[in-house]
Amino acid sequence: MTRLQSTFAKPHPALVAFVTAGDPDVLSTPAILDALVEGGADIIELGMPFTDPMADGPAIQAANIRSLSGGTKTADVLKIAADFRVRHPAIPLILMGYANPMTIRGADWFADACVSAGVDGVICVDIPVEEDDSLGDALRAKDVAVIRLATPTTDAARLPAI
């Protein structure tokens, strides 16, 4: 059973907490993650900062800009993830972000990096289900969960595909 499956098998709803890596800075992010776990988070979503976070609201957009202004890179996010995994071996960790940083070096590279960092799943907000093969196949081949988002406007016909 994976960490995600174990978490969702518990007899209570899962508390999922999100933070953008590198906000307010890379060195503060591990302590923020630890505080989320200590506060009861069952799953951590670690945001990968991106220059054009169009699917996010103003608060997360601002966090992305602060993070990138501080120089956060994909390598920093993966290091934060790997270090988190050592400190919290049982807590599921999800990377959430946009396609460009995830696919720029190739889907296989990103999938391997996720495995090396102990990442349990990935939410890529701007790859629609119709283009899943651009990243999803590589992640699933490495047993990294591909997590899709449905919006309040997702209709009943599209929901099964998502």
Q: What is the pLDDT of residue 147?
A: 96
User: Of 16, 28, 24, 34, which Cα lies nearest the Cα of 63?
Assistant: 24
Q: For the packed helices 74-87 and 29-38, what is the interaxial angle rounded to 10 degrees?
A: 40
Q: What is the pLDDT of residue 136?
A: 97
Ranges of the chain whose pLDDT falls below 50: none
Which domains occur in the chain, in start order? 3-146 (3.20.20.70)
The pLDDT tens digits for 86-113 are 999 999 999 999 999 999 999 999 999 9
Catalytic sites, residue numbers: 45, 56
Q: What is the pTM of this model?
A: 0.95
